[in-house]
Amino acid sequence: MKLNFAHRARLVLAFTIIGAASLTTQNVHAQSPLFQPLYEVLTHPRCMNCHTITDFPRQGDERRRHAQLVVRGADNHGAPTLQCSACHQDENVIDGAVPGAPHWGLAPLSMGWEGLNARELCLVLKDTSKNGNRSLQDLFLHMSEDELVLWGWTPGGNRTTPPLSQPDFVKALQAWVSAGGPC
Ligand code: HEC
Ligand code: HEC
């Protein structure tokens, strides 16, 4: 079939509309670019090893199960007979062999992030029924000042740190919070 100009113009128009429609559909499901850098930090092993959905913490970049049969316990601070604080001090000790920071313990199960994609994690993070009733501003303060969060950038030993520097993480947080926390 030989297409004349009008036919071709109509075809181009049709494809443009279909293209635009599928782009719009994609946008509905796409995650916010402002959350992406935060996602990369939150899913780093230094954060995720405590934000588990399991009954135990994890260790190392390979995120193996915590040694010594350490368990979550009823209060997220271990079994009554083997609390996190039996080993974890207020700071890293023995040249970083035992990491430490004040109030060391697992994040509650409602704050477990394993297996979530960026959009899901963003929604859970903002869900006040799961995040300790924190507003966006509270989340900003927690993630820029909390000692367990800050430990992620001074983890001791030869542990790796999250992909953004701590100041860059705070900047990215600020941008996300200022934009209303888009997911
Ligand atoms: C040693 C364990 C530990 C590490 C490491 C840790 N967290 Fe947490 N995190 C906790 C605990 C415990 C809470 C609950 C504290 C509370 O509600 O007062 C928490 C709560 C949070 C919350 C608020 C609750 C929520 O789900 O919105 C955020 C945000 C958070 N952590 C971010 C981080 C980030 C980012 C890192 C890594 C840079 C990190 N955490 C590393 C233990 C940890
Ligand atoms: C018997 C001592 C002991 C107890 C009890 C203990 N830990 Fe640990 N933990 C360690 C040691 C030692 C390491 C370092 C292991 C390594 O780097 O290979 C460690 C590492 C970790 C790490 C990994 C840090 C990282 O990102 O690689 C997390 C998270 C952790 N512990 C959480 C906990 C939590 C939460 C509890 C209580 C529920 C707890 N630990 C109880 C000794 C202990």
Instruction: Please name the amino acid found at residue 121.
Output: L
Given the CA of residue 68, which atom of ligand 2 is nearest to it? Answer: 1
pLDDT at 15: 40
> Degrees (nearest 5) of the Cα angle 64, 139, 37?
60
pLDDT at 114: 98
Q: What CA–CA distance (Å, rounded) separates 27 from 44?
A: 26
pLDDT at 149: 98
Q: What CA–CA distance (Å, rounded) separates 11 from 158?
A: 59
Q: What CA–CA distance (Å, rounded) separates 66 from 99?
A: 13
- Give me the half-sphere count of Cα atoms (radius 13 Å) on the Cβ side of residue 47: 20
Given the CA of residue 111, which atom of ligand 1 is nearest to it? Answer: 26
Query: Would you say the C-alpha torsion 180, 129, 133, 61 has a positive or negative sign?
Result: negative
Ligand closest to 159 (CA) is: 2
The pLDDT tens digits along the chain (183 residues) read 444 545 544 444 444 444 444 444 444 456 899 999 999 999 999 999 999 999 999 999 999 999 999 999 999 999 999 999 999 999 999 999 999 999 999 999 999 999 999 999 999 999 999 999 999 999 999 999 999 999 999 999 999 999 999 999 999 999 999 999 999
> Would you say the CB of residue 102 lies under 6 angstroms from ligand 1?
no
pLDDT at 31: 80
Burial class, 125, CB count within 10 angstroms (exposed 0-12 / middle 13-18 / buried 19+): buried
Instruction: Provide residues with CB under 6 Å of ligand 2.
Output: 45-46, 49-50, 57, 59-60, 66, 68, 70, 77-78, 82, 84, 86-88, 98-99, 105-106, 159
Nearest 10 degrees: CA dihedral of 96, 99, 101, 102?
-120
Query: Would you say the C-alpha torsion 82, 86, 89, 93 has a positive or negative sign?
Result: negative
